[in-house]
A = this chain, B = another copy of it.
Amino acid sequence: MAARRPLILISNDDGIDAPGIHALAAAMVPLGEVHVVAPLLEQSAVGHAITLRDPVRAHPWPFRGPHGKITAHAVTGTPADCVKLAIDKLLPRTPDLVVSGINQGPNAAVNVIYSGTVSAATEAAILGIDALAISYCRWVGGDFGPSAVIAQRIARQTLQRGLPPGILLNVNVPDLSLQAMKGVLITRQARSRWEEAYSERLDPFERPYYWMAGTFVNLDDGENTDLQALETGYVSVTPIQHDLTAHDWLDELGTWTLESEASTGS
């Protein structure tokens, strides 16, 4: 009897009708049995939000394209909700791989922490499932084809080799043809931040409101960053984990006098 084909769950944060998720689904069909569980509406920049205080619904969704018909649900929640609900209720069994994307726009440097695309893959990693996030470094339109090819190659290798517990891969693909790409680099997140400049406006009733705007600042001139790879025409693959502990600074913090001051016990 042939081995069962891998079950691959696909999600994203741009919403179930975004072009990137169709390109990704088409690229995953040759690798296994594909199910799509994605947000009904765009969920960009939701970070690792989950929906606790409200119910969510999962609508069976017509998901057709060059890939044929794929079983799909549109969920009224966040990317992390999609992965949790899919695994608990919607899938026939635990998936072998979760792939999130293909996001319209990069998710590199500090933006990883704001990214809904990455959060879907992170949630899978927390639940013990191998996962990838794939982003196409172009904000509007373009051709998802090269990103889909890269996604398929990295997904195939991930299915073959497996990832260590708790680690996922965050892949960013430059806006180039496959021929023009220089290759793939293993990278770390660049230190960076957004410097906000909120736009302050008045509504039709002359009441003020603010709209987030800002400038992205790369603070990192070191080697091997995701931004550097992308700027020089490489695919960036960053292994990501979700333990936020600053392990290197535990000993230093131990020199603070927290214990004697705070302890008033006997």
Does A50 lie within 8 Å of B112, measured CB to CB?
no
Q: Tell me, in angstroms, the Cα distance from A188 to B58 when the chains sit together.
A: 36
With A237-B253, A257-B157 already in contact, the answer to whether A112 and B208 are too (CB < 8 A) is no
Does B113 lie within 8 Å of A122, measured CB to CB?
yes
- Picked from B183, B238, B253, the residue with its CB within 8 Å of the CB of A263 is B183
Asked if A81 lies at the interface with its beta carbon under 8 angstroms from chain B, I say yes
Q: Tell me, in angstroms, the Cα distance from A196 to B84 when the chains sit together.
A: 7
Question: Which of A1-9, A61-69, A243-251 forms part of the interface with chain B?
Answer: A243-251
Does A256 lie within 8 Å of B189, measured CB to CB?
no
Copies in the complex: 2
Which residues of B have CB within 8 Å of A207?
57
Does B45 lie within 8 Å of A50, measured CB to CB?
yes
Q: Tell me, in angstroms, the Cα distance from A183 to B266 when the chains sit together.
A: 10
- Picked from B47, B53, B186, B211, the residue with its CB within 8 Å of the CB of A254 is B186
4 closest A-B pairs (Cβ-Cβ)?
A47-B48, A183-B263, A47-B47, A239-B246
